[in-house]
Amino acid sequence: MRKLDTIIRDYHWGSRTALAELRGAPSPSPAPEAELWVGAHPDDPSRLRDCGVPLDRYLAANPAGLLGPGSLAAFGPRLPFLLKVLAVDAPLSLQVHPDREQAATGYAERGYRDDRAKPEVLVALTEFATLAGFRAPAATAALLDGLAVPGLAPVRAAVAAGEVGEALRLALTGTTGGLVAEVAAAAARAPALAHVAELAEVYPGDPGVVAALLLDAVVLRPGQAVYVGPGVPHAHLRGVGVELMVNSDNVLRAGLTTKEVDVPAVLSVVDTRCGPAAVLAGEVDGPLRTYPTPDPEFRLHEARPGAVLPGGGPQLLLCVNGSVVVRRGGDEVVLAAGESAFLPHDEDAAQLAGEGRAFWAAVNLGA
Torsions phi, psi of 182, nearest 5?
A: -65, -45
Q: Of 134, 132, 104, which is closest to residue 117 (Cα–Cα)?
A: 104
Contacts of residue 136, Cβ cutoff 8 Å, sequence gap at least 6: 275, 276
Contacts of residue 178, Cβ cutoff 8 Å, sequence gap at least 6: 151
Contact 195, 211 (CB under 8 A): no
Contact 296, 367 (CB under 8 A): yes
Tell me, yes or no, if 253 is annotated catalytic: yes
**Strands 288-291 and 283-285, bridge-based pairing:** antiparallel
| Beta bridge partners of residue 315, listed in sequence order | 343, 362
* Upstream peptide bond of 30 is cis (omega within 30 degrees of 0): no
Active-site option among 135, 169, 253, 328: 253
What is the DSSP track for 28-61? S-SS-B-EEEES--TTS--EETTT--BHHHHHHH
Give the DSSP H or E segment for 73: helix 69-75
Torsions phi, psi of 105, nearest 5?
A: -65, -45
Contact 158, 170 (CB under 8 A): yes
CB 79: neighbour CB atoms within 10 A? 29
Output DSSP code: residue 272: T
CA 149 – CA 264 distance, rounded (Å): 26
Q: What share of the chain is helix, strand, coil (3-state, %, to 5)?
A: 30, 30, 40
Contact 337, 320 (CB under 8 A): yes
CA 197 – CA 188 distance, rounded (Å): 5
Show which residues are catalytic: 253
